[in-house]
Amino acid sequence: MSIITLRESITQALREEMALDENVFIMGCDVGLRGNPFGITKGLMNEYGEKRVIDTPISEAAFTGLGVGAAIAGMRPLVEILYADWITLPMDNIVNTAAKTCYMFGGQANVPIVIRAPFGVGGGVAAQHSQNNENWFVHVPGLKVITPSTPYDMKGMLKSAIRDNGPVICFEHKRNYSVKGEVPDGEYLVPIGKAAIRKTGTDCTIVAYSYMTYVAEEAAKELEKDGISCEVIDLRSLLPLDYDTVMESIKKTSRVVVVTEAPLRGSIAGEIVGEIIDRGFDLLDAPPQRLGSKNSPVAYNEGLEAMCTPKKEDIIAAVRKTFE
């Protein structure tokens, strides 16, 4: 067992899967010589050569389209979008080709592509480098969407994604890259579509994912001091989403708060609350609460940036509201 950062866990997953399968290759802006802005692919070009770690022109639509075609032809491309904000550029390739090809060809063609995208608020990098746009892709049949928050989960789920025969988008929160955690030294996989319980509790369920899981855990610790026991669920995967674990928790707690860092309007928080009501309205002792960012572009100023996103105090207030 080793203690490494989430950033390092991604590098390990990429290195191991490239060693296991020569069809696995990486491409994107600055992934080769520079090793990406976060240092994740640093050194991999030296290990595997320029044909398997490909520095591309700055054209997300072009290299994502190339990746989709390579996947259909039998390769396993790992496409990196430098910032998730720019995933708007290859939307047609992702939504209309990658997600639909297997269905339209009656299962005769697979698209085993993984698209990695750093996302989320933090660091004062302004409106075009700070978006949470994971919600857009949860709406698309044919895709899988994962958002691991720990080094253990990131490595295991990314390896599962690379071996999956369909398109998977992996959203990596920039604030999580420096998070440290234990990762086994041997081979392991984490299944896509299974949530994790980060903290057990009996009074209220807090459903979160990615960076907001850590904020939720902080809130739960504060509430514990006042005698309110919260169960914190890290979804890990948004599509498919593990409603069984969510509902089992609500059976026990009878209250729920759903937290996302994305702008609340049109976010997955509303979808989760709707599903909870459909599956277990009678289990609830209080209306479900939703939390998300303000419906505003993310400011460059870090003080304004912080004002827009859910904080520990917001989650605490939402939990308390379920007891009113």
Question: What are the residue numbers of the active site?
Answer: 60, 129
Pairwise CA distance, residues 290 & 193, whole Å? 22
β-pairing, 196-199 vs 230-234, is: antiparallel
Pairwise CA distance, residues 135 & 269, whole Å? 9
Q: Are 231 and 197 in contact (CB under 8 A)?
A: yes
How far, in Å, are 24, 80, 264 from residue 20 at the CA level? 8, 20, 41
Pairwise CA distance, residues 268 & 249, whole Å? 19
| Phi, psi torsion values for 101, nearest 5 degrees | -60, -45
**Structure token pair of residue 314:** 């917001």
Helix axes 211-225, 312-321, angle to 10 degrees: 60
Find tokens 């890259």 and name the residue. Answer: 177
Helices of type H across the chain: 6-20, 44-48, 60-72, 91, 101-104, 134-138, 151-163, 211-225, 243-253, 268-280, 302-308, 312-321
Q: In three state form, how does the secondary structure of 2-59 look?
A: EEEEHHHHHHHHHHHHHHHCCCEEEEECCCCCCCCCCCCCCCHHHHHCCCCEEECCCC
Pairwise CA distance, residues 184 & 121, whole Å? 30
What residue type is assigned to position 320 of the chain? Answer: R
Helix axes 151-163, 6-20, angle to 10 degrees: 30
